[in-house]
Amino acid sequence: MPIGMYFALSAVLFSIGLAGVLVRRNVIVLFMCVELMLNAVNLTLAGAARMWGGPDGHVFVFFVIVVAAAEVVVGLALVVNIFFRRGTLDVDVPTLLKR
Amino acid sequence: MTPLATEALEEAVTNLQVLTDSGAMSLSWLLLVLPAVGFVACLTLRRRLEERVAWIAIGASILTFVLSVAILLQLRDEQASHLVFGFTWFDDVGGLTVHFDYAIDQLTAVMLLVVTGVGSLVHVYSWGYMYGDERFERYFAYLNLFLFSMLVLVLGSSFLTLFVGWELVGLSSYLLIGFWFEKAAYAAAAKKAFITNRVGDVAFMIAMFLIFREFGTFDFFAVFEHAGDLSTGTATTIVLLLMGGAAAKSAQIPLHVWLPDAMAGPTPVSALIHAATMVTAGVYLMARSSPIVVQSLDAMTIIAWIGVLTALLGALVAIRQDDIKKILAYSTVSQLGYMFVGIGTGGFNEGIFHLVTHAFFKGLLFLAAGSVMHALADQTDVWRMGGLRRVMPVTFWTSAAAVLAITGFPPFAGFFSKDQILVTAYEHGFTAVWALGVLVAVLTAFYMGRWFLLVFMGVGRWGDDVHPHESPASMTGPLIVLGVLSAVGGAALNLSHHGPLFTWLEPSTASTGGVAFNAAGSIGEPTLVAISIAAAVLGLGAAWFAYNPARVAQGRTAEPVVGPVAELFERKFFVDELYEAIFVKAGARVADALVWFDTTVIDGAVNGAGAVSLKVGDVARRVQTGFVRGYLVAFLVGGIVLTAVLLAQVGLA
Amino acid sequence: MPPLAQASDVAQAVAGTNVAEVILFIGFGLLAVGTAVAVVTMRNVVHAALMLVVNLLSIAGLYLALQASFLSIVQVIVYAGAIVVLFLFVIMLLGVQRDDSLVDVDRRHVAGAVVGGLLLAGLLVAGFVGTYTTAASRCGDQATLTADDFRAGRVGCVGLDHLSSAAAEPTDGSSPDPAQGPMTGAEFLGERLFTRHTFTFEAAGLLLVVATIGALVLGKRHDTDPADDPAYEPAYEPPLLDDFDDFDDFDDDRLDGDVDGPGADAMLVELPGEDA
Judged by CB atoms within 8 Å, which residues 23-42 of A form the interface with B?
Answer: 25
Do B390 and B331 fall within a single domain? yes
CB contact under 8 A, A98 and B628: no
Q: Which residues of C touch A65 (CB under 8 A)?
A: 74-75, 78-79
Do C62 and C109 fall within a single domain? yes
The domain boundary residue, chosen from B540, B570, B600: B570
DSSP one-letter code for B597: I
pLDDT single digits (tens) C56-112: 999 999 998 888 888 999 999 999 999 999 999 998 888 766 545 556 567 777 787
pLDDT of B249 > 70? The answer is yes
Query: Is the overall model pTM greater than 0.80, yes or no?
Result: no
Q: pLDDT band for position C22 (50/70/90)?
A: confident
CB contact under 8 A, A53 and C22: no
Question: What is the pLDDT of chain C when averaged over all its residues?
Answer: 70
Contacts of C154-159 with C-beta under 8 Å, sequence gap 24+, read C155/A51, C155/A52, C155/A53, C156/A53, C157/A3, C157/A50, C157/A51, C157/A53, C158/A50, C158/A53, C159/A50, C159/C5, C159/C66, C159/C67, C159/C68, C159/C185
Q: What's the pLDDT at A90? A: 75
Distance from CA of A1 to the nearest CA of C (A): 5
Helices (H), chain C: 3-15, 19-41, 45-65, 69-74, 84-94, 107-124, 147-151, 160-168, 185-195, 198-218
Amino acid C2 reads P
CB contact under 8 A, C133 and A92: no
Domain that holds residue A72: 3-88
- Tell me which range, B267-281, C71-85, C182-196, is most confidently predicted by mean pLDDT: C71-85
Do B504 and B389 fall within a single domain? yes
Top-confidence residue, B167 or B653:
B167
Do C125 and C14 fall within a single domain? yes
d(CA C133, CA B539): 122
Q: Which residues of B touch C112 (CB under 8 A)?
A: 633
The domain boundary residue, chosen from C89, C124, C140: C140
Does B123 reside within a domain?
Answer: no
Which chains have 3+ CB pairs within 8 A of C? Answer: A, B
Closest chain C residue to the Cα of B625, Cα to Cα: C260
Please tell me the total number of residues recorded for chain B in this structure: 653
Nearest to A12 by CA among B556, B108, C126, B76: C126
Taking each helix axis as running N to C, give the angle between helix B232-249 and helix B184-215, from 0 to 180 degrees, rounded to the nearest 10.
160
pLDDT values of chain A reduced to their tens digit, one per residue, 99 residues = 677 788 889 999 999 998 888 888 888 898 999 999 999 999 999 988 887 767 788 899 999 999 999 999 999 998 888 887 777 777 777 666 665
Distance from CA of C259 to the nearest CA of B (A): 7
| Residue A18 at interface with chain C, using a CB cutoff of 8 Å | yes
Q: Which residues of A touch C159 (CB under 8 A)?
A: 50
Report the CATH number at residue A67.
Answer: 1.10.287.3510
Closest chain B residue to the Cα of A94, Cα to Cα: B626
For residues C106-119, average pLDDT: 79
For residues C105-128, average pLDDT: 78
d(CA C160, CA C105): 46
Closest chain B residue to the Cα of A23, Cα to Cα: B629
Q: Which residues of A touch C68 (CB under 8 A)?
A: 46, 49-50, 58
Please state, as a whole number, how many other Cβ atoms lie within 10 Å of the Cβ of residue C225. 12
Nearest to C166 by CA among C135, C131, C189, C142: C142
* Preceding amide of B411 cis, omega within 30: yes
For residues C7-11, average pLDDT: 58
CB contact under 8 A, B636 and A18: yes
Q: pLDDT band for position C155 (50/70/90)?
A: very low
| Residue A68 at interface with chain C, using a CB cutoff of 8 Å | yes
Count: domains in chain A: 1
Does C28 reside within a domain?
Answer: yes
φ, ψ of residue B86 in degrees (nearest 5): -100, -105
The domain boundary residue, chosen from C140, C163, C184: C140
Answer whether B485's CB lies under 8 Å from B413's CB: yes
Does C225 reside within a domain?
Answer: no
d(CA B496, CA B415): 11
Q: pLDDT band for position B130 (50/70/90)?
A: confident
Answer whether B89's CB lies under 8 Å from B209's CB: no
Does A95 reside within a domain?
Answer: no
Do B597 and B527 fall within a single domain? no
Domain that holds residue B647: 576-652
Q: What's the pLDDT at C182? A: 47
Range with the lowest mean pLDDT among A81-85, B154-158, B580-584, C177-181?
Answer: C177-181
Distance from CA of B636 to the nearest CA of A (A): 8
| Residue A86 at interface with chain B, using a CB cutoff of 8 Å | no
Measure CB to CB from residue B633 to each of A22, A94, A95 and give the nearest one. Answer: A22
Q: pLDDT band for position C146 (50/70/90)?
A: low
Answer whether B288's CB lies under 8 Å from B348's CB: no
d(CA B360, CA B339): 14
End-to-end CA distance of chain C: 60
Nearest to B369 by CA among B293, B482, B257: B482
The domain boundary residue, chosen from B515, B535, B570: B570
Q: What's the pLDDT at A14? A: 92
Q: What's the pLDDT at B4? A: 39
Does B21 reside within a domain?
Answer: no
CB contact under 8 A, B636 and A22: yes
pLDDT single digits (tens) B392-420: 888 899 999 999 999 888 888 888 888 88
Chain B residues contacting C via beta carbons under 8 Å: 618, 622, 625-627, 629-630, 633, 636-637, 639-640, 643-644, 646-647, 650, 652-653
Range with the lowest mean pLDDT among B635-644, C21-30, C128-137?
Answer: C128-137
Does C248 reside within a domain?
Answer: no
Count: domains in chain B: 2
Do B618 and B646 fall within a single domain? yes
- Tell me which range, B71-85, B215-229, B338-352, B543-557, is most confidently predicted by mean pLDDT: B338-352
* Cα Dmax for chain C: 84
Does B558 reside within a domain?
Answer: yes
Q: Which residues of A touch B621 (CB under 8 A)?
A: 99
SS3 assignment, position A24: strand
Nearest to A69 by CA among C207, C88, B635: C207
Domain that holds residue C149: 145-220
Count: domains in chain C: 2
End-to-end CA distance of chain A: 53
The domain boundary residue, chosen from B513, B542, B570: B570
DSSP one-letter code for C272: T
DSSP one-letter code for C83: I
Does A40 reside within a domain?
Answer: yes
Does B100 reside within a domain?
Answer: no
Q: Which residues of A touch C184 (CB under 8 A)?
A: none
Amino acid B29 reads W
CB contact under 8 A, B640 and C260: no
Task: Give bridge partners of residue A90 from the DSSP assignment.
Answer: A26
Q: What's the pLDDT at C162? A: 56
Do C62 and C154 fall within a single domain? no
Does B405 reside within a domain?
Answer: yes
Q: pLDDT band for position C179 (50/70/90)?
A: very low
Answer whether B456's CB lies under 8 Å from B389's CB: yes
Distance from CA of A34 to the nearest CA of B (A): 11
Do B460 and B589 fall within a single domain? no
Do B520 and B591 fall within a single domain? no
Top-confidence residue, B294 or C168:
B294
Do B505 and B363 fall within a single domain? yes
Q: Which residues of B touch C129 (CB under 8 A)?
A: none
- Report angle CA A20, A24, A30 to the nearest 5 degrees: 75
Does C235 reside within a domain?
Answer: no
Does A60 reside within a domain?
Answer: yes
Does A99 reside within a domain?
Answer: no
> Environment class of residue B358 by beta-carbon count within 10 Å: exposed (0-12), middle (13-18) or buried (19+)?
buried
Q: pLDDT band for position C161 (50/70/90)?
A: low
Report the CATH number at residue C98.
Answer: 1.20.120.1200
For residues B428-445, average pLDDT: 90
Q: What's the pLDDT at C156? A: 55
User: Please, what sign has the CA dihedral across residues B620, B622, B628, B634?
Assistant: negative
Range with the lowest mean pLDDT among B112-116, B451-455, B629-633, C153-157?
Answer: C153-157
* Cα Dmax for chain B: 121
Does C246 reside within a domain?
Answer: no
Do C100 and C18 fall within a single domain? yes
The domain boundary residue, chosen from C109, C140, C171: C140
> What is the residue-wise DSSP string for B604-635?
HHHHHHHHHHHHHHHHHHTT----HHHHHHHH
d(CA B163, CA B170): 10
- Tell me which range, B87-96, B502-511, B519-528, is most confidently predicted by mean pLDDT: B519-528
Q: pLDDT band for position B102 (50/70/90)?
A: confident
pLDDT of C258 > 50? The answer is no
Do B532 and B628 fall within a single domain? no
pLDDT of B349 > 90? The answer is no
Does C237 reside within a domain?
Answer: no
DSSP one-letter code for B573: G
Does B22 reside within a domain?
Answer: no
Do C88 and C180 fall within a single domain? no
Range with the lowest mean pLDDT among A7-21, B60-74, B242-256, B480-494?
Answer: B480-494
**Taking the C-alpha atoms of C235, C239, C245 and C247 in order, what is their torsion angle to the nearest 10 degrees?**
120
Does B468 reside within a domain?
Answer: yes
Q: Best residue in C157, C220, C225 to probe A by mutation, most A CBs within 10 Å? A: C157
Does B232 reside within a domain?
Answer: no
pLDDT of C229 > 60? The answer is no
d(CA C157, CA C138): 8
Helices (H), C105-184: 107-124, 147-151, 160-168
Measure CB to CB from residue C260 to each of B618, B627, B652 and give the nearest one. Answer: B627
Measure CB to CB from residue A77 to each of C21, C121, C214 and give the nearest one. Answer: C214
Range with the lowest mean pLDDT among B497-506, B606-615, C101-110?
Answer: C101-110
Do C52 and C97 fall within a single domain? yes
pLDDT single digits (tens) B510-560: 777 767 777 777 777 788 888 889 989 999 898 888 888 777 777 777 777
Q: Which residues of A touch B636 (CB under 8 A)?
A: 18, 22
Closest chain B residue to the Cα of C127, Cα to Cα: B652
Do C125 and C179 fall within a single domain? no
Distance from CA of A28 to the nearest CA of B (A): 14
Do C2 and C130 fall within a single domain? yes
For residues C245-264, average pLDDT: 49
